[in-house]
């Protein structure tokens, strides 16, 4: 149900590691809970993020939530398409709705402590 090539955190973000570049977004479960996303506030390229810290905010019609980074490093790209089309987070949470790309310092350790797809699925079913 959740893509097997991604890792997940307890705040419902996913991360895809390619070399030393980690792409981050929110899961299908998270976007469904939020409802239609109308605004995504993302950091700037060059900012540093720390695993577990807030890197931005996401708003639906009814609510606002913080976005937490599952990894630490320097932001090298943000998804500018979300400024005009925040609904991409709903329609394509793992592809077009990605949020930030982070260059991680230590790729070998970057995913430590994050959940696999199976673990995340079990985590979500406990929370629901």
Partner 1 sequence: MDGLKRTPLYDEHVALGARMVPFAGWEMPVQYAGIIEEHLAVRQRVGVFDVCHMSEFRFFGFDAKDALQRIVTNDLGKIDELGRAVYTVMCDEDGGIIDDLIVYHTGDLEYLVIANAANHDADWDWITSHLPASVEAVDESDRTGLIAVQGPQALRVIGELVGEGFEPPSRFSIAEARLGGIPVLLARTGYTGEDGVEIVCHASNAVAIWRLLLSFPEVQPCGLGARDTLRLEMGYALYGSDMDRGVDPISAGLGWAVSLGKGDFIGCEAIARIKEVGPKQRLVGLVVDEGVPRHGYPVLQGETEVGKVASGTFSPTLRQGIATAYVPAALASPGTELGVAIRKKVSKAVVVRPPFVKGTSLDKAAS
Letters for 41-80 (x = contact with partner 1 by CB under 8 A, - = none) are x---------------x-xxxx-x----------------
Minimum distance from residue 104 beta carbon to partner 1 (Å): 25
CA distance 22 to 32: 23
CA distance 36 to 61: 7
Pick one of 1, 5, 18, 39: the residue that binds partner 1 (CB under 8 A). 39
Minimum distance from residue 99 beta carbon to partner 1 (Å): 16
CA 96 to each of CA 31, 51, 93, 114, 128: distance values in angstroms, whole numbers, following the listed order: 13, 23, 7, 22, 26
Residue 41 has which token pair? 């506030």
If one asks whether residue 36 binds partner 1 (CB under 8 A), the answer comes out as: yes
Minimum distance from residue 52 beta carbon to partner 1 (Å): 19
Helix, strand, or coil here: 128?
A: coil
Positions that interact with partner 1 (CB under 8 A):
35-36, 38-39, 41, 57, 59-62, 64
């Amino acid at each position: 149900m959740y893509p097997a090539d991604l890792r997940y955190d307890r705040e419902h973000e996913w991360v895809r590691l390619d070399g030393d570049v980690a792409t981050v977004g929110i899961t299908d479960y998270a976007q469904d809970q939020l409802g239609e996303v109308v605004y995504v506030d993302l950091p700037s390229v060059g900012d540093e993020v720390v695993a577990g810290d807030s890197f931005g905010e996401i708003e639906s019609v009814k609510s606002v939530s913080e976005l937490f980074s599952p990894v630490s490093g320097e932001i090298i790209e943000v998804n500018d398409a979300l400024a005009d089309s925040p609904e991409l987070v709903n329609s394509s949470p793992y592809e077009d709705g990605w949020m930030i790309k982070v260059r991680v310092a230590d790729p070998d350790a970057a995913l430590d402590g994050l959940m696999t797809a199976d673990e995340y699925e079990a985590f979500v079913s406990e929370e629901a």
